[in-house]
A and B are shown apart, each in its own frame.
Chain A
Amino acid sequence: GQQLNQSPQSMFIQEGEDVSMNCTSSSIFNTWLWYKQDPGEGPVLLIALYKAGELTSNGRLTAQFGITRKDSFLNISASIPSDVGIYFCAGASDYLGGSQGNLIFGKGTKLSVKP
């Protein structure tokens, strides 16, 4: 099936540092979503992107929909301990089964913050 390549797989950062992660695909997507998963919980939607080139912020989080529609990145500024968790990118395309309901996820970026 379709795959998203998400990197890095994991990262350790100092509190206060900025964080960047990205997702790439060989296929075109018309929706990119970024989720965060806390231990023992389901993923929670952070940011949704629907237009190529779109740049959207949610507090300290900023995400962009790549111009080629094959990639997206997420930045976290001034990280804090509660940013710890697993971040997933997800993409949806009209070309996947003809339905936006078929959402494909990356394998996740595990973020650990040193207090």
Chain B
Amino acid sequence: EAQVTQNPRYLITVTGKKLTVTCSQNMNHEYMSWYRQDPGLGLRQIYYSMNVEVTDKGDVPEGYKVSRKEKRNFPLILESPSPNQTSLYFCASSSRQNNYGYTFGSGTRLTVV
């Protein structure tokens, strides 16, 4: 089944403790992206990647890092999480072949205390 898989689905952590949210897609998509969703703010793009080793900042990149060492994986790294990074995070992928319609993962709900 074609899908975008995020892990974990839920995470509670403490301020300052480094964490990684993994994202993997099995569709050979070249584009991958991370969004955060907050009430009243919709989906805001954190980082995106056009292909392996090519990443760029979205609208809200502060406090986040990403890497794209393999085409299928696009992890989101929070080096020192803070409470304002409590949010619902979505990973998504797309390709030129499917005309850029993003396929989304099921989300990771992160709480930083």
Q: Output the least CB separation between B74 and chain A (Å).
A: 11
Closest residue of A by beta carbon distance from B58: A102
Q: For the complex, give the distance between the alpha carbons of A68 and B68 in Å.
A: 36
- Chain A residues positioned under 8 Å from B40 (CB to CB): 107
Interface size on A, residues (CB 8 A): 27
Which of A40, A48, A105, A106 meets B101, CB within 8 Å?
A: A48
In whole angstroms, what is the CA distance A8 to B106 when docked? 25
Complexed CA–CA distance, A35 and B4 (Å)? 16
Cβ-based interface call for A104 (8 A): yes
What bracket does the count of chain B residues touching chain A fall in? 20 to 34
Which residues of B from 31 to 65 have beta carbons under 8 Å from A? Answer: 31-33, 35, 40-45, 48-50, 56, 58-59
Q: Is A97 an interface residue (CB 8 A)?
A: yes
Which of A43, A50, A99 is the one whose CB lies under 8 Å from B104?
A43
**Complex contacts, B45 vs chain A, CB 8 Å:** 102-105
Q: C-beta contact mask, B17-30 vs A, less than 8 Å → 1, else 0?
A: 00000000000001
> A41 to B103, alpha carbons, bound, how many Å?
12
In angstroms, Cα B98 to Cα A33, docked, is 12
With A41-B107, A42-B107, A105-B35 as given contacts, are A1 and B59 in contact (CB-CB < 8 Å)? Answer: yes
Chain A residues within an 8 Å CB radius of B49: 101
Q: Which of chain A's residues has its CB closest to B100's CB? A: A100
* Inter-chain contact B56/A97, CB cutoff 8 Å: yes
Complex CA gap A44/B31 in Å reads 17
Tell me the minimal C-beta distance from A41 to chain B in angstroms. 6
> What is the bound-complex CA distance between A88 and B102, given in angstroms?
12
Do B101 and A88 touch (CB < 8 A)?
no
Q: Is A108 an interface residue (CB 8 A)?
A: yes
Could you write out 23 A-B pairs with CB less than 8 Å apart? A1-B59, A35-B104, A42-B90, A42-B105, A42-B107, A44-B104, A45-B102, A45-B103, A88-B43, A92-B100, A99-B31, A101-B30, A101-B100, A102-B48, A102-B56, A103-B45, A103-B48, A103-B92, A103-B100, A104-B45, A105-B43, A106-B42, A107-B40
**Residues of A with Cβ closer than 8 Å to B?**
1, 6, 31, 33, 35, 40-45, 48, 50, 88, 90, 92, 97, 99-108
